[in-house]
Structure 1
Amino acid sequence: MEPEVSFQPSEHQHNRYNPLRDEWVLVSAHRMNRPWKGQVEKPPQENIPRHDPKNPLCPGARRAGGEVNPDYEGTFVFENDFPALQPDAPEPGPADHPLLQATSARGVCQVMCFHPWSDITLPLMTNQEVRAVIDKWAEISSDLGATYPWVQIFENKGETMGCSNPHPHCQVWASSFLPNEAQTEERTQREYLRTHGTPMLLEYGRLEEERKERLVLKNDHWLVVVPYWAVWPFQTLLLPRRHVTRLQDLSDEERDSLASIMKRLLCKYDNLFEVSFPYSMGWHGAPTGRHLKEDCSHWQLHAHYYPPLLRSASVRKFMVGYEMLAQAQRDLTAEQAAERLRNLPEEHYKTGGAAEDR
């Protein structure tokens, strides 16, 4: 009779539950041993000019719609020249069949430049410059949130994530409806509070801080973890250590601490494969607009970071096949990813911390 094999997360496939999205992810860490003969990504663009008058995001440049950017010296926000949402779109009208439904979708889309220089990214900015970005995020969230129920701040960084312009920037889409992800997180967090008596992500952050195996970074006000249910290889979740529902509710100290921990995390990301690390990130806070008058204590503010790189700067994770037709699957455990990120230096490989001296 063969001896019973004990379960090892890094060796044996298993499913993990994501309570925030109410879905499962298949973890198959042994697949990292397989040879790779798939697509190889090209390295990010190097030697980016600090200012290019033909780059529509640069100070003084003319954009596609004919507008000329001011000679901004900090952050700069403008209305997207090709918005996915517009405030005055007409109603689609009643559906003539239950399988062919449509509803109205109105909103605004903005672009926010982080810095006037094109050859810089968030981890290469000073803490003060990152803090200015956070303050502008909070201001936009408050302003647009007075009208719209959902304000989505997101950054796509790198060509691998579909960003063709290297200038440091993000987008803000405010919508007249709660998008799918917001609806799911609204439901799961509300149900968790009702069942367990505490906000889901507040309890989760305390659990990860106590157990430490998936903890990447922490400071007085914030935690960064690779979530137990992570899908992307080096996915992280950025959480406040106190109960706070929206960006605009952060104190001055929390904003300073956020700037610090964001910079530390993003330096680790770049240091992992010594490349400007691509990712999609975004903030999820409590709904706004008409929801401002509701009890949103089930929400905990958080940011998701979804980086695609898996084995190196040139090998990424593809969400295809099984992931699209069955369920999400990942090729290393959250604990393995957290350990690699945790052990990386926090000084950027290009500067050794020189950004703080600018």
Structure 2
Amino acid sequence: MARKDSNRQDSTSRDWDESDVRVRARKSGSRPRTKERPAHEDAVTGRIVTVDRGRYTAVLDEDTAQERIVVAVRAKELRRRPVVAGDLVGLVGDVSGAPDTLARLVRIEERSTVLRRSADDDDPVERVVVANADQLVVVVAAANPEPRTGFIDRSLVAAYDAGIEPLLCITKTDLRDPAELVSHYTALELPVLVSGPAPGAAPGDGTLPLDPGLVEALRERLDGHVSVLLGHSGVGKSTLVNALTGADRATGGVNAVTGRGRHTSSSALALKVEGASPGSWIIDTPGIRSFGLAHVDHDRIVEAFDELAEAIAGCPKGCRHTETSPGCALDAWVAEGRAGAAGPSRLASLRRLLGAGARAGELRDEKELGVS
């Protein structure tokens, strides 16, 4: 018994040191995390030309002898911030552009403009379409598919809200005289280009490539700009892009049953405009079925209608500018002809946009030309 007690005494009286300490590892890792992030001062700047399944394609040293295409992956610190065509980004790692190499995208530079849309007018989630564009080319067909003034108006509102200058381009004028559509926007300072079929094309076949003279007129408008093309599928966006850039974007027709175009572009793609000055880019976007304006403030929508915006100074405070708003000055303004011949239809279009978010299904009932 004495010996047993002696052993107990020896074990309790020994000297302990740090080697005897056992510390359980932290569940999140043994090293504490820090909010500090590397500055990546060695990052080189590139322009994103397309995004595809987590791979970001950028052009570096553009318009120099060292110009090259680099494919990159996003750094974790960027989290879920969207990177889109037109973005200027910082890249590190292997930026040689050699086959089977990947750089790392670590920074999105400050954007000069951002073109946004939402899926519909009551969707709170905004989607970035392109970045750093200074010109929006809204492409519609005179027919097949039918031009939708509601879509044009939405595009103009988004452009003005983003600080981007709009331009309207009308294709397939061999199928229908675009005069009525053009007259709808006469009161606006909106440049309009009419694009017809190639010389010698049979009337009504909608044949493209385009008249070279008209292509050159559009090329002149694009010179020195970063322009984004926006339009429904089947209106000829990709054909225009091919003619202006020498690319070979797939083109498609229009479904004979639904009257809607078939999607031929699955992602936005930035291309250089051939024969233009350095810095001239055109961004082709996938054909879209809807262009929601949930992200645009109510007053900003009104301001986009130049021929009507001045009238709201005479509206009572808090006026919603609807058909039932008491004392709304827009009705008298239009009745006096101060908004031009297209004033009544333009006012109707404005009021549809203002009320679209409050009425289910309004986006699906966009006005087609000549349809109330």
Give me the TM-score of the superposition, normalised by structure 1.
Answer: 0.25
Which structure is higher in helix share? 1
Give me the TM-score of the superposition, normalised by structure 2.
Answer: 0.24
Whose Rg is larger?
Answer: 2
